[in-house]
Amino acid sequence: MAADRRSSWLKGVLDLLVLSCLTDGESYGYEIAKSLAGAGLGEIKGGTLYPVLNRLEEAGLLEAEFRAAERGPGRRYYRLTERGREHLAAESGAWLDFHTAVRAALHPGGSTP
């Protein structure tokens, strides 16, 4: 049950988290997944991550470039567009406002565990 709950919560914010992973520069899918796992979000499988990356690219929030590798398969590198940066800033603020409202509802009177 806890994994199902976590998955539901993650769906609501995964787009923003992926965009956030690219604020300091370009990266590829596996590195983005590692970054999210390192932040304590658990394993994000390719079947979840790559559709998000494709959707963000189609929306004009990311640009992607395929690069061949000397050894092994090539990689598709993603970077934020200016529109992606603007979207991230606006939606991050909205998400933080929502988080504050949920926290207040869960802990009325300001008491936190």
Report the distance separating Cα 64 and Cα 34, nearest Å: 19
Q: What is the pTM of this model?
A: 0.86
Q: What's the average model confidence in pLDDT over 72-94? A: 95
If one compares 85 and 71, the residue with the highest pLDDT of the two is 85
Amino acid at 57: E
Averaged pLDDT score across all residues of the chain: 91
Q: Does residue 3 register a pLDDT over 80?
A: no
Q: What's the average model confidence in pLDDT over 31-55? A: 94
Look at strands 75-80 and 27-28 and give their pairing.
Answer: antiparallel
Q: In what order do the strands lie in the sheet with 27-28?
A: 27-28, 75-80, 62-67
Task: Count Cβ atoms below 10 Å from residue 31 Cβ, excluding itself.
Answer: 14
Q: What's the average model confidence in pLDDT over 39-60? A: 94
Cβ-proximal residues to 87 (8 Å cutoff; 6+ apart), any chain:
19, 61
Q: How much is the pLDDT for 1?
A: 47
